[in-house]
Amino acid sequence: MLKSTGMKKISRSMLKIPHIIYIFTALITLSLGVLIGTGQWQIILILIALLVMVVLSLINMRYIEDRSGSLLVMGWCVMLITNYAQKISGVPLGYVLEAVIFGLAFTSLRKVWQLTAQDPTLRLLITLLLIYFSLALLSSVLGRSHNFAALWQLQYNLKWPLMFGLGCLIVWTEHTDQILQKIVAWSWLFIVPFVAIEIISPSLYTQLFLSNVGAHTNPLLGIGIRYRGPFSHSGMLAITCALMAICAVVQLLRGKGRSWFFIALIYIAFVLASGQRQEMSAMLIAILLICIISWRHYWSLLLVSILFSGLFIFSGFYLDDIPMRSTLEQWGLFNNLSTLSERAILTSKGIDVALQYFPLGSGLGTYGGAGALKFDQSLFVDLGFGQYYWFREGKFLVDTYWPSIVAESGFFGGLLILTIYLVIFMTLLRRAWYAKGTPVFGLVLIAIAAMTLLLANTPTSAIITDPRGAFFFWLLIGAAWRATSVSDTNMDIPLNENSKKISQTLSKVFKR
């Protein structure tokens, strides 16, 4: 009787929560209307932030899962509009994704913890991450970190694990799969007008969307500039369209129709228009990889491709005119050390910092990351960066990834992060071999491609942990991990008899 009474009280209190939310939302909406009319923009931003915090807190109180693909749609849309909207309005809209990532951290981490019960590889990843962050914090205490710069860099480094955790909230159903197909099938329509205006009328494009600071000659096409479309940089256009092209190729391999071939060509054309050689090469490698996995009986093609690629690169060093010669010279090859690029200098100096502060590094927020860029550039000054014009103008300081990791947490910290990424990549690769024939096979292929693109960009970009460019990527990687984990394998998608047998084999492999 007491138990029944207690349950009634709880249910009544639960019924009151929606009414409180409605009243609170109505008051906030009314207040926003008044403030917008009077132009009180700072107070408006504070109220919006308060509203987001309250909503996310209420969500965190409940066990949630995304079965509708809402996270995918939201992540993709925000990635498309954030960069331009932020530049034009001056409002830091990029922090919308950060609010989602950290606001839903509790519920996403709870799901990850649940998956660890029967997923030993995930337990290994968490262990390695805890060791890395422990070392990074210890290096910050013993190194030269300033408190706020270190905290800023800490939250920056936490973003990719939390994005991965958010991906684990996605239940990969037939509906979710269709949502991804629609995103890939129609997103090019949003990109075409921007690129068309940029090509036809550069002056109009500049008036509408600000100037393209990276408008150098396109090295892939030999004509035109490096177009950026609806993004802040041509590299963003390249990596996002590369992922879309690979998604289209996967749908083609799944037998979804020949139209996906033409959709893939459209996105590849955008990558070519961006002029980004690194993203183009990564996309081709990823497409080759997923094709080989799809036809796993022809695994020897992988060895042949690697052999010929190696011979091509090796022979290229002996040619006087190769496409990447100038870039390689800027990294100190061909014995031409006088033309080192900004990224090459940051890399070499980062290694020097790791040696100087051996074994733990200089501490978070001291070199090559967002924390140092915003709050503490003293180490750069000590290293003599004042002689470089690009440092004085505040350029290129976060255009690398590994130098920051190695310098701030030492060589062992860098090795840990590299190991973590390789474990994720190899685990997805291993699961893909056994997931062929199951409904999640296409998702795993896309996740492998997303990881390939992110890792291939780390030498010249820190996009791997930047939500403005990597949010959608990590959602797919996390969703693929969950869909192929032991405790969740294919439980949400109806399987035919053949798929059930493969699913049972998949589960047995993961239990080993």
**Tokens 């930047």 correspond to what residue?**
466
Structure confidence at residue 45 as a pLDDT band (50, 70, 90):
low
Q: What is the pLDDT of residue 52?
A: 62
Q: Which residues contact 251 (CB under 8 A, 6 or more apart)?
A: 181, 184, 257, 260, 442
| Confidence (pLDDT) at 454 | 93
* The pLDDT of residue 11 is above 70: no
What whole-number distance in Å separates Cα of residue 416 and Cα of residue 422? 10
d(CA 337, CA 1): 83
Nearest to 447 by CA among 423, 479, 422, 415: 479
List CB contacts of 118: < 8 A, sequence separation 6 or more. 485, 486, 487, 511
Judged against a pLDDT cut of 50, whether residue 462 lies above it is answered with: yes
**Cα 231 to the chain's mean position, in Å?**
15
How far, in Å, are 123, 144, 145 from residue 153 at the CA level? 25, 14, 10
- 395 compared with 211, residue with greater pLDDT: 395
Is 180 within 8 Å of 247 (Cβ atoms)?
yes
User: Which carries the bigger pLDDT value, residue 93 or residue 14?
Assistant: 93
User: What distance in Å separates the CA atoms of residue 172 and residue 347, rounded to the nearest whole number?
Assistant: 40
pLDDT attached to residue 369: 86
Asked if residues 447 and 479 have their Cβ atoms less than 8 Å apart, the reply is: yes
Band (310; pLDDT cuts 50, 70, 90)? low
More confident residue, 105 or 419: 419
Dihedral Cα 464, 465, 467, 471, nearest 10 deg: 60
pTM, two decimals, is 0.79
Top-confidence residue, 395 or 101: 101
pLDDT tens digits, 115-150: 988 889 999 999 999 999 999 999 999 988 888 889
In this structure, what is the dihedral angle of CA atoms 362, 366, 370, 371, given to the nearest 10 degrees?
110
Highest mean pLDDT among 43-52, 222-231, 274-283, 329-338: 274-283
Q: Work out the number of other CB atoms within 10 angstroms of the CB of residue 341.
A: 18
- Percent of the chain at pLDDT above 70? 70
What is each CA distance from 27 to 34, 47, 82, 257, 440, in whole angstroms? Answer: 11, 11, 27, 50, 44
Cα 312 to Cα 58, 324, 452, distances in angstroms: 57, 12, 21
CA 299 to chain centre: 29
Those residues with Cβ within 8 angstroms of residue 405's Cβ, 6 or more apart along the chain or in another chain: 413, 414, 417
Residues 181 and 260: their CA atoms lie apart, in Å, by 10
CA distance 407 to 368: 8
Q: Return d(Cα 286, Cα 453) in angstroms, integer.
A: 8
Tell me: pLDDT of 78 over 80: no
Is the backbone peptide bond immediately before 359 cis, with ω within 30 degrees of 0? yes
- What pLDDT does residue 343 have? 81
Please report which confidence band the pLDDT of residue 346 belongs to, taking 50, 70 and 90 as the band edges: confident
CA 413/CA 139 separation, integer angstroms = 10
CA 393 and chain centroid, separation: 27
The per-residue pLDDT for 84 is 62
Interval 246-290: pLDDT, tens: 999 999 888 888 899 999 999 999 998 888 888 888 888 888 888
For helices 467-483 and 234-253, give the axis angle rounded to 10 degrees.
20
Spatial distance between the Cα atoms of 411 and 125, rounded to a whole number of angstroms: 19
Instruction: Give the tokens for residue 319.
Output: 């040619």
Written in H, E and C, the secondary structure of 424-453 is: HHHHHHHHHHHHCCCCCHHHHHHHHHHHHH
DSSP state, residue 324: T
Taking 80 as the threshold, does the pLDDT of residue 110 lie above it?
Answer: yes
Euclidean distance between the first and final Cα of the chain, in Å? 48
Confidence of residue 31 (pLDDT cuts 50, 70, 90): low
Tally the C-alpha atoms within 13 A of residue 48's C-alpha that lie toward its C-beta. Answer: 16
Alpha helices for 320-459 (secondary structure H): 325-330, 342-356, 370-375, 378-382, 389-392, 402-435, 441-456
Measured CA to CA, the distance from residue 166 to residue 108 in angstroms comes to 5
Least confident of 38-42, 389-393, 429-433, 451-455: 38-42
Q: Is the pLDDT of residue 303 over 50?
A: yes
Query: What pLDDT is attached to residue 55?
Result: 60
Residues β-bridged to residue 463: none
**Residue 380, amino acid:** F
